[in-house]
Structure 1
Amino acid sequence: MPLQRTTVKIPSATPGWHLDAWKYLPQGFKTPHPIIILAHGFTGTKEMNLAPYAEAFASAGYACIVFDYRRWGTSGGHVITLASDISLNIAAAVAQCPFTGAACKVPFGPGMVMTLCAAVYDWFRQMLGLAPYYIPATGPPGTVGALTYEHCFDRISETFPSNAQSQRNNQVSGASVFALRSYDPSSRASEIRCPLLMVVAQNDNICDSSSTLKVAQLAQGSIKISIPTGVTSEHVYPTMKF
């Protein structure tokens, strides 16, 4: 089924900060469309293989909004967890390889020590009102970075189009490491009332899959869990070649 894609700017809570989004509309439907909202996780942007999902949903008759979080991609932020907000009347939620507050362990070594030093340094800079001290968002094992799991840097890089690699912003403030470790969406899992589909990579090398399965038990809505056998979080994206 033919579909239309347009770029729209969505106002955020901060005046002047807009979410840059792609809007997909299926053709041939005259009634209002159910809408699917798509966005990546930590440091991801809509350029990183989300278009095939939106195209598939739009071809099936759904409208889709694919957006970049503020301060990422072509947007200006961050948005709150929406699935637990009953006022939004959400029909269902889908979480693919979700981070639920427990990450896989990173081997202790010089890279971890240097990353923690950078995080502390940035924290003090922020307390003094100075500009952030940035570190790589992803990097090879043993280097300074927020995510330095095996194959993480290469595979995340592969999800970004080759003709737009220069637009990739592979950096975060050092103190983000503390926020990442303390972020715990599982604390609101019991508030989820809508149907929830969780796609959990069996061998996820970033997010602890066993913790994700425990969180699923807390949700109050109907739950369906899909566990692709023998895959990591990067394998679930279309066009990835392994």
Structure 2
Amino acid sequence: MNNQFRREDVDFYSSGTRCSAWLYLPDGDKKCPVIVMAHGLGGVREMRLDAYAERFAAAGYACFLFDYRNFGASDGNKRQWINVKQQLADWNCAIEFIKNDDRVDGSKILLFGSSFSGGHVITLSSKRKDILAAISQCPYTNALASMGTLSPVSSLKAFPLVIADLLSCLSGYHPVMLKLLAVRGKAAIMAVPVPDYKGCLELIPENSSFVNKAPARTLLEFVKYSPSRYTKDIESPIYYAVCLKDTLAPAKATVKCGKRSKKATIKEYNCGHFDIYLGDYFEKAIADYIDFFDNNIK
């Protein structure tokens, strides 16, 4: 199936804050299943999540792709603030909003998340009973798994900034910022090998709203958040896309978590964390994802 589709700008509200979304609608009068989507840690929707949405829409799915509050085209007066509780609230508001849009089939809600939002998809799938199926691509699973990938030098350089940022909370929101992404040895939330750093840069189009920084306290969000504890509670089908050369979301931890889900499909791709967004790995993955959804919407 290779349908034509259109994309509309849509706003919804989460805790009173306007969040910006793109709604992809296949042409025709048929109400389609809808895939709710959001990006990973500090990312924005135009960093190749739109490429996934376009392919899903061409295959006959509506897609609702949004920016979290404080990021991208969404409002929020605490820019670049990454907060797990708020991001999950944004997801829940997005789902409730779009399932009530009479242009889609609100009885068939699907989820797609990647990296940090892959972790959110795990959490949401365990807690909501209205999720028909979900895809969790190279997901963040827990702090222990991700801590094993950290550069000790980068961590030491980041630690004083975390302390300074926490102290800044005493006087309101005056954050001490830390780079989201840098090469190993630099102070960053994600300090990665050079090939991964270059791979991430390839995801950023010209004139993107992406900002390569976040409050240093973001590092503490990993300590508090473990989607892996919820994998055993997921009742609906879930697809775990595992990148075998992942330096941010270790493959071994993802496979271990995935095996706890009752209706898990676990597929391994011989690539790095950012490789699956582009080229041959993207083509293979998106074909697998469409097959998975096709087999689980009946």
Same fold (TM over 0.5): yes
1:227 paired to 2:227: no
Separation in structure 1 between the aligned mates of residue 278 and residue 231 of structure 2, nearest angstrom: 28
**What's 1:216 paired with?**
258
In the alignment, what sits opposite 2:218?
A: 176
Structure 1 residues 28-43: aligned runs within 5 Å: 28=28, 30-43=29-42
| Number of residue pairs aligned between Structure 1 and Structure 2 | 232
Against the structure 1 CA distance between its residues 168 and 147, is the aligned structure 2 distance closer, same or farther, given a 3 Å change threshold? same
Check whether the contact 1:69–1:79 (CA below 8 A) recurs between aligned residues. Answer: no
Question: Counterpart in 2 of 1:141?
Answer: 184
**1:25 equivalent in alignment to 2:25:** yes
Q: 1:176 to 1:240 in 2, by over 3 A?
A: farther
Q: Could you say what the CA RMSD is over the residues aligned between the two structures, in angstroms?
A: 1.9
Q: Among 62, 82, 87, which residue is 1:78 paired with?
A: 87
Pairs within 5 Å for 1:127-206? 127-129=170-172, 131-151=174-194, 152-161=196-205, 163-165=206-208, 167-206=209-248
Secondary structure class of the residue paired with 2:131: coil
Do the aligned residues in 1 keep the contact of 2:20 with 2:66 (CA within 8 Å)?
yes
Task: State how far apart, in whole Å, the 1-side matches of 2:173 and 2:26 are.
Answer: 47
Within a 5 Å distance, the mapping from 1:48-63 to structure 2 comes to: 48-63=47-62
Q: Any conservation in 2 of the 1:122–1:132 contact (CA below 8 Å)?
A: yes
Following superposition, the deviation at residue 107 of structure 1 comes to 3.0
Structure 1 residue 180 displacement after superposition:
2.2
SS in 2 for 1:36: strand
Separation in structure 2 between the aligned mates of residue 212 and residue 128 of structure 1, nearest angstrom: 39
Q: Tell me the secondary structure at the aligned position of residue 24 of structure 2.
A: strand
Task: Report the Cα distance in structure 2 between the residues aligned to 1:38 and 1:130, rounded to whole angstroms.
Answer: 28
Greater fraction strand: 2
**Unmatched 5+ stretches in structure 1:** none
User: What's the CA shift for 1:240?
Assistant: 8.7
The worse-fitting range, judged by mean Cα deviation, of 35-44 and 99-108 is: 99-108
- Higher alpha-carbon deviation: 184-193 or 231-240: 231-240
Structure-1 separation of matches of 2:273 and 2:59: 25
- AA in 1 matched with 2:212: N
Match among 107, 112, 122 for residue 151 of structure 2: 107
Answering whether residue 136 of structure 2 is matched by residue 95 of structure 1, we say yes
Distance 2:269 2:46 in 1: 24
Deviation at 1:130? 5.1
- Could you tell me how far 1:239 is from its partner in structure 2? 4.9
Please give the alpha-carbon distance, in whole angstroms, between the structure 2 residues aligned to 1:218 and 1:128. 44
- Measured in 2, the distance between the counterparts of 1:41 and 1:130 equals 23
> Could you tell me which amino acid in structure 2 is paired with residue 143 of structure 1?
K
Matched residues, percent identical? Answer: 27
Task: Tell me, in whole angstroms, the C-alpha distance in 2 between the residues paired with 1:79 and 1:114.
Answer: 30
**Runs of 4+ off more than 6 Å:** none
**3-12 or 184-193, which moves further after superposition?**
184-193
Q: In structure 1, the residue corresponding to 2:183 is in which secondary structure?
A: coil
